Amino acid sequence: MYELDVDCPGYSSAAQAVRLRAGETTDLGTILISGGRRIAGHFQVSESSKPLVWFASIWPDDETLVWCEVRRRRDFAVSQIGTFSTDAFAPGRYALQGTVYERGVGDRAGRFVGASKVTRVDTREKAVVGLEIPLATATHVTLRPTTAYARECTCTIHTAEGLFSLGGSVRDLEGGDLPLLPGAYSLTVTRNGGLVSRTPFFVGSSPVVLDVPN
C-alpha cells in the first residue's frame, strides 16, 4: 500500500490510498487538484512574559488511511498569541492539534504551557474560520519497551473516539515525556505493517509509564 499526494504552489490534492501488486499496472484515473481552503482560528493561550514555542499539526481525518497517519501530519504556523491561518490543504475532512511551551535555552522547548484536544474540521463545503480552541494542562506519558524487539516497532496512540493523538517509532519515542490530555486512550503497536498488540490505557493527573509489549 502507498499513499499518493500531489502538491504544487497554491494547490493540493486529497490523499488517496494506492495498492500495487507485482506484475500489474495500476490505473489511478483522473487525479483532481484544487486550491487550498482556509482553516483559521485561535488557541486560547494565556499571556506569557516569555516567548512561546508552538508545535501544531493537521492531518486528514480519513478512517480509510489510518495506517499512514503518522507521516501524514503536517505542521502549520501559530503566532505568539495563538492565532493561525492556513490555506495549504485541499477541501476535505481534517483533524488538528496544538501544543505550546515556553521558549527555553537555544530556542528549545522549555516549560510546558498547554495542549489542545484534537479538533475536527470539515472544509469540503466552505472555509472554516473563527475556531476558538481551549488549551489544557497535559499529563506526561513515558513509553518503556519491554524488549529489544518492541523497540523496533511502530506505535500510535488514539483517543477512545478513535482520533489519532501521536505516534512514531518506539525507539524514537521511548523515554521522552509525551504530553497527553487526561482521558482514555489505546496504544497500537505494529511491525512491518502487521499488528503486534493493542492496549487500552487511561491518563489521569499523574505521570504514566506505559510498557510497550511485543
Average pLDDT, consecutive stretches of 10 residues, N- to C-terminus, the chain (214 residues): 66 68 82 82 85 88 49 82 90 88 80 86 94 89 90 88 79 84 90 89 90 84
Give me the residue spans of the domains in the chain. 35-134, 139-212
Domain 139-212 class? mainly beta
SS3 49: coil
Asked if the domains 35-134 and 139-212 are classified in one and the same CATH topology, the answer is yes
Q: What is the pLDDT of residues 114-137, one digit of tens each?
A: 888 889 999 989 999 999 999 988
* Cell numbers for 182: 487526561
Task: Give the per-residue SS3 of 173-184.
Answer: HCCCCEEECCEE
**Dihedral (CA of 213, 55, 119, 34) sign:** negative
| pTM for this predicted structure | 0.64
Specify the fold of 35-134: Immunoglobulin-like (2.60.40)
User: What is the C-alpha to C-alpha distance for residues 213 and 14, in angstroms, rounded to an integer?
Assistant: 35
- In the 8-state DSSP scheme, what is residue 152? T
Spatial distance between the Cα atoms of 135 and 115, rounded to a whole number of angstroms: 5
Task: Please return the burial class of 82, using the count of CB atoms within 10 Å of its CB with bins 0-12, 13-18 and 19+.
Answer: buried
